Amino acid sequence: MLHSRKISHTKTLTMPPLVLPKVHLSWTQMNTWITNPERYKRETFHGGKKLDTEYLQYGKEIATMIEEGRHKELLPDLITYDTPEHKIECEVAGVPVLCFLDTWQSDSNLFREYKTGTIPWTQKKVQKHDQLLFYATALKWSTGKMPEYCDLDWIETRKQLQEREDFWGPTKKDIMVTGRIVSFHREFDEREINYMEQLIIRTATEISEAYINHINSL
């Protein structure tokens, strides 16, 4: 069964000269700009502190554990492919993009995205999660093939009390994975990829224009 197919890049896509605050456009940057432009400007133009929580930190720890292959005892049912943390650095219609796939199967051009968290994922939420489209688009432009699908694995996470040897020590709830994994299948359509290409172009253009205005105001 073929898991990806060769497709040509949309010839009508054009990209004006860009002046970006970062070398590459990532999904996090794009999503931040779309959802909260002022936060993006504060964090990127002015070097403000970026959003960080204990759940984000824990998610990074789990990602590192999986990348290094130290997850098997904690998450024995987790499916992994041959290339963990696969780096994609390419141009999408003239826009430099950067992303890291949690795990990528090189021969079939498929990937999986891992998500920790206490709030369950649903199929509807996965279908609307444009990060997967961003990654699929980056794969198309870096390999020349559009992946037919990907899978998202929700790694259930919760806070629970931990036993302490020191009786007088403060009570603390630590974040931990439960070992439960729920997988969701997400197929891609070429029209969706075209939509994401246009969204990448529009976002990069808006960021560039805002950044030029910022530079001129200094």
Residue 85 has pLDDT above 60, yes or no: yes
Tell me what the pLDDT averaged over the chain comes to.
88
pLDDT of residue 172: 56
d(CA 108, CA 111): 9
Question: Alpha-carbon dihedral of residues 58, 59, 64, 70, nearest 10 degrees?
Answer: 80
Q: What share of the chain has pLDDT > 90, as a percent?
A: 76
| CATH class of the region 14-160+171-216 | alpha beta
What average pLDDT does this structure show over 108-135? 96
Domain regions of the chain by residue span: 14-160+171-216
Residue type, 69: G
